[in-house]
């Protein structure tokens, strides 16, 4: 018992350093996912047939393959093949981002499809171009409606990020393993990792909840956010 | 009234889902005129109004505004045309995430490229004109149906349209709210606005319409002044249709 506490006290700053890398991977992954997912959702709803098909194929692929397989496929396979020499953490961030893009596109697409169709026509009738109608009317509403789904996606991605350790990224899970195999304090260290993930989930979800409240519009969307 | 027409419609045809909805509709509207579209449900009134500002692109036919034919394939002129032709929908279609002021000022900023201050000044004037000066901060969900429709009228008027298209603007309203919207439209007509309006508010039609177009199965089958078509002696299809309307619409705000 004594020993476990001693190991923990020494290991925790090291694990928290790993949390920094986890945060980089998750925030980077969410950001990349947004950059990929939002245009793809717009393309799937408003785009011409070939673009819709391409987006559909992308979503089908990234939703159909386990993240672990994707990590291997890209890091040891495709990135090597194209001689793209990036670190394990960057690679994990890119793969998480591409995967999240597929899921996020479906969150945004669902939100866009749930909007009242007539508003787009009203915007057109005022002389707005399709582009302007999407930017000024569709997206501000769809993004608000997407926030609960986005917060869910954050908590999933955070947990998926633990897989980055298989590439050798020294995030929370890799550091937990590293200390545990040397000190044999598996239980204590795993519990510490649990605690860190739990705190990261809680903080992120709370922050997104606060954002949701900040941008809330009376009578629009998720009422209980108020 | 010898001036040339402001809006001319010639041989408009439109099929939807493989079914002909409009089959050669032609008419012309002079400046300051109020044309009313009447007819049974599914007769093509909404489709016609949406074709007039190319929310539906007609399969055939020509629309001319002040003598100029509109080519819907050319984006820039189409967007310019739509600014000159305001549209009011049955279910308002206000932008749900914007308050009344932003609903009215958005297109002024994005389309007419006014500064925020100019756009809001103009928007406030239009809201005052429809009697909603004190409601500018309210969001659509906080407005009554009649107030929403008045905001949508202010939103269209802010673009300085030459013609207004109104598709059953009071059909979704509770009876006690119909009057406030019709009052605004009546004011608008008095100020000289050219309008094409689908409505079944017969009291309003009798007092305000310059001409009735009776539409059925995608065609204008009767056309004339209310005095002509609604005269008991006329024996018109319009009169027949309207007397059936009156049977279950006795009462109401008009
Ligand atoms: N997108 C569409 N695809 C197929 N058919 C359509 C479509 N939109 C409308 N229609 C059909 O077109 C016909 C005319 O509809 P429209 O809405 O123009 O009639 P209306 O005169 O406005 O009727 P109402 O008084 O009920 O508003 C209807 O039979 C309708 O079912
Ligand atoms: Mg209709």
- C-alpha of residue B20 to centroid of ligand 1, in Å: 10
Examine residue B113 and state whether it is found in any structural domain, yes or no: yes
- Rounded (to 5) percent helix, strand, coil in chain A: 85, 0, 15
> From the CB of B44, is ligand 1 less than 6 Å away?
yes
> From the CB of B203, is ligand 1 less than 6 Å away?
no
Residue with the smallest CA separation from ligand 1 atom 18 is: B44
Is residue A101 classed exposed, middle or buried when 0-12, 13-18 and 19+ CB atoms within 10 A define those classes? buried
Region B51-78 average pLDDT: 93
**CA B90: distance to chain centroid?**
9
d(Cα B244, Cα B188) in Å, to the nearest integer? 29
**Chain segment B178-203, per-residue pLDDT in tens:** 999 999 999 999 999 999 999 999 89
What integer pLDDT is reported at residue A88 of this predicted model? 84
- State the complex-level ipTM: 0.90
pTM of the model: 0.88
Report yes or no: A73 and A9 within 8 Å, Cβ to Cβ.
Answer: no
Mean pLDDT across chain B:
91
What integer pLDDT is reported at residue B52 of this predicted model? 95
Scanning B81-100 for CB atoms below 8 A from A yields 82-83, 85-87, 89, 91, 93-97
- When comparing pLDDT for A110 and A221, which is higher? A110
Mean pLDDT across chain A:
89
Q: Which two tokens stand for residue A163?
A: 């897989």
What integer pLDDT is reported at residue A166 of this predicted model? 82
Q: Is the pLDDT of residue B90 over 70?
A: yes
Q: Is the pLDDT of residue B130 over 90?
A: yes
Ligand index nearest the alpha carbon of residue B45: 1
Kindly provide the residue ranges of all beta strands, DSSP E only, lying in chain B, ordered along the sequence: 7-16, 19-29, 34-38, 60-65, 68-69, 85-88, 163-167, 194-198, 211-216, 219-224
Report yes or no: B108 and B134 within 8 Å, Cβ to Cβ.
Answer: no
What percent of chain A has a predicted confidence (pLDDT) above 70?
97
DSSP state of B225: -
> From the CB of B14, is ligand 1 less than 6 Å away?
no
Examine residue B238 and state whether it is found in any structural domain, yes or no: no
What is the phi/psi pair of residue B250, to 5°?
Answer: -60, 140
- C-alpha of residue A44 to centroid of ligand 2, in Å: 29
- Split at pLDDT 50, 70, 90, the class of A116 is confident
> Could you say which of B55, B97, B139 has the minimum Cβ distance to residue A124?
B55
Length of chain B: 254
d(Cα B139, Cα B159) in Å, to the nearest integer? 21
- Split at pLDDT 50, 70, 90, the class of B128 is very high
Candidate from A83-92, A143-152, B241-250 with smallest mean pLDDT: B241-250
DSSP state of A174: H
Q: Please enumerate in sequence order all residues whose Cβ is within 8 A of that of B127, keeping only pairs 6 or more positions apart, or say none.
A: B100, B101, B104, B133, B135, B136, B151, B154
Domain that holds residue B151: 94-161
Domain that holds residue A75: 2-225
Nearest CA in chain A to B91: A118
Candidate from A102-106, A192-196, B243-247 with smallest mean pLDDT: B243-247
- Report chain A residues whose CB lies below 8 A from the CB of B94: 119, 122
Q: Which domain CATH number covers A135?
A: 1.10.3720.10
- Split at pLDDT 50, 70, 90, the class of A224 is low
Number of domains in chain B: 1
Number of domains in chain A: 1
Helix (H, G, I), strand (E, B) or coil at A184: coil
* B93·A118 Cβ contact <8 A: yes
Element (H, E) at A179: helix A172-183
Closest CA to B192 of B5, B30, B14, B22: B30
How far does the CA of residue B97 sit from the closest CA of chain A (Å)? 6
Region A42-69 average pLDDT: 94
Q: Is the pLDDT of residue B252 over 50?
A: no
**Chain segment B163-180, per-residue pLDDT in tens:** 999 999 999 999 889 999
* B91·A118 Cβ contact <8 A: yes
> Could you say which of A118, A136, A141 has the minimum Cβ distance to residue B89?
A118
Region B233-247 average pLDDT: 79
Examine residue B212 and state whether it is found in any structural domain, yes or no: no
Examine residue B17 and state whether it is found in any structural domain, yes or no: no
Candidate from A17-21, B152-156, B232-236 with smallest mean pLDDT: B232-236
Examine residue B107 and state whether it is found in any structural domain, yes or no: yes
Examine residue B11 and state whether it is found in any structural domain, yes or no: no
Residue with the smallest CA separation from ligand 1 atom 26 is: B41
Query: Is A114 near chain B, with CB under 8 Å?
Result: no
User: Is the alpha carbon torsion for A24, A26, A29, A34 positive or negative?
Assistant: negative
Query: Is A121 near chain B, with CB under 8 Å?
Result: yes
Query: Is A132 near chain B, with CB under 8 Å?
Result: yes
What integer pLDDT is reported at residue A226 of this predicted model? 42
């Amino acid at each position: 018992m004594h020993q476990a506490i001693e190991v923990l006290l020494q290991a925790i700053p090291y694990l928290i350093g790993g949390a920094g890398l986890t945060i980089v991977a998750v925030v980077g992954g969410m950001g990349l996912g947004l950059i990929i997912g939002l245009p793809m959702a717009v393309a799937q709803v408003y785009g011409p047939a070939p673009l819709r098909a391409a987006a559909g194929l992308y979503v089908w692929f990234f939703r159909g393959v386990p993240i672990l397989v994707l990590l291997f496929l890209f890091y040891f396979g495709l990135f090597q093949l194209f001689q793209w020499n990036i670190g394990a953490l960057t690679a994990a961030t890119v793969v998480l981002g591409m995967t999240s893009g597929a899921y996020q596109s479906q969150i945004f697409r669902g939100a866009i499809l749930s909007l009242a169709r007539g508003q787009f026509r009203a915007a057109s009738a005022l002389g707005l171009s399709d582009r302007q109608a999407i930017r000024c009317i569709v997206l501000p509403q769809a993004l608000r409606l997407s926030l609960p789904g986005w917060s869910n996606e954050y908590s999933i991605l955070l947990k998926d990020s633990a897989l980055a350790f298989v590439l050798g990224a020294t995030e929370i899970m890799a550091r937990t393993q590293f200390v545990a195999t040397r000190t044999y304090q598996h239980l204590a260290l795993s519990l510490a990792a649990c605690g860190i993930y739990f705190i990261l989930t809680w903080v992120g979800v709370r922050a997104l909840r606060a954002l949701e409240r900040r941008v809330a519009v009376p009578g629009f969307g998720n009422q209980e956010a108020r | 009234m010898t001036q040339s027409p402001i809006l001319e419609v010639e041989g408009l045809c439109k099929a939807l889902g493989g079914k002909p909805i409009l089959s050669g509709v032609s008419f012309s509207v002079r400046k300051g005129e109020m044309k009313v579209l009447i007819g049974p449900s599914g007769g093509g009134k909404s489709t016609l109004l949406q074709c007039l500002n190319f929310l539906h692109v007609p399969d055939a036919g020509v629309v001319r505004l002040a003598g100029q034919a509109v080519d819907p394939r050319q984006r820039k002129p189409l967007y310019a045309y739509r600014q000159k032709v305001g549209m009011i929908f049955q279910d308002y279609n206000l932008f749900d995430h914007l308050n009344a002021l932003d609903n009215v000022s958005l297109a002024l900023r994005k389309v007419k490229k006014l500064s925020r201050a100019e756009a809001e000044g103009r928007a406030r004037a239009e809201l005052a004109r429809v009697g909603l000066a004190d409601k500018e901060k309210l969001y659509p969900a906080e407005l009554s149906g009649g107030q929403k429709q008045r905001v949508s009228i202010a939103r269209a008027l802010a673009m300085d349209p030459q013609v207004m298209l109104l598709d059953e603007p009071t059909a979704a309203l509770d009876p006690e709210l119909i009057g406030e919207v019709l009052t605004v439209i009546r004011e608008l007509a008095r100020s000289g606005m050219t309008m094409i309006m689908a409505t079944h508010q017969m009291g309003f039609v009798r007092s305000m319409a310059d001409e009735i177009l009776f539409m059925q199965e995608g065609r204008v089958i009767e056309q004339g002044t209310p005095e002509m078509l609604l005269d008991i002696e006329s024996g018109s299809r319009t009169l027949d249709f309207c007397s059936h309307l009156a049977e279950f619409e006795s009462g109401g705000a008009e």
